[in-house]
Structure 1
């Protein structure tokens, strides 16, 4: 079986011409993970919580979340933080201004 080539030249599947070699493009998972981590680190560096006491964002069961949520209200990366938590199924702490319970409710409304 032959395939038409450029300028009347034909290529057969068994020859080593560029016409017979199939180019394969793929997104390598590690490259994507590296890119995702780089973007992730950028927003995390700008997060207000990175400049405060982390214990406020991971209160004991039944503890107050008010202080963490107050800090989140003024944070420029609040949407990125919430998206990260939802994407990574974060089970603990305040992320993007929402508690675990609030994130679960939000996901139920989305899904």
Structure 2
């Protein structure tokens, strides 16, 4: 898992024994992540990756995520950061942008409805 530039990343030299830590103590969920035991390259695209290869790699990464006990925490972390690259919590960067856009629209709609209710109650 990539960390934002201000969060140093430590990855073991052997991909099958990948260890990811953050200096800010991102929380205990990452210690339980299944991806810690998988190849880091599965979750992040190499430069100039062909589309078919990217889709295949992302699908394989999502299969790893699907069996992860902390998938929801990982996904929420990626949405709250927001993580701009890679597969996190079973979502690609593009899919996370869609989720965030939907959340923003929902929040706007909820705020508008709440304001309408307050105006109606006051009036």
Instruction: Tell whether the structures are fold-level matches, with TM greater than 0.5.
Output: yes
CA distance in 2, matches of 1:76, 1:59: 24
User: Which residue in the other structure is 2:42 paired with?
Assistant: 56
Q: Structure 1 length normalisation: TM-score?
A: 0.62
Structure 2: state its 5+ residue gaps.
Answer: 1-23, 105-123
The partner residue of 1:99 within 78, 92, 99 is 92
Deviation for aligned residue 1:41: 3.8
Structure 1: state its 5+ residue gaps.
Answer: 1-36
Where do 1:35-74 residues align within 5 Å?
37-38=24-25, 40-60=26-46, 61=49, 62=51, 63=54, 64-74=57-67
Deviation for aligned residue 1:66: 1.1
Q: Structure 2 length normalisation: TM-score?
A: 0.56
The runs of 4+ residues in structure 1 deviating greater than 6 Å are none
Report the aligned-residue RMSD. Answer: 1.2
CA distance in 1, matches of 2:44, 2:65: 13
Which one has a bigger Cα radius of gyration? 1
Task: Choose between structure 1 and 2: higher helix proportion.
Answer: 2
Higher RCO (CA 8 Å, separation ≥ 6 residues):
2
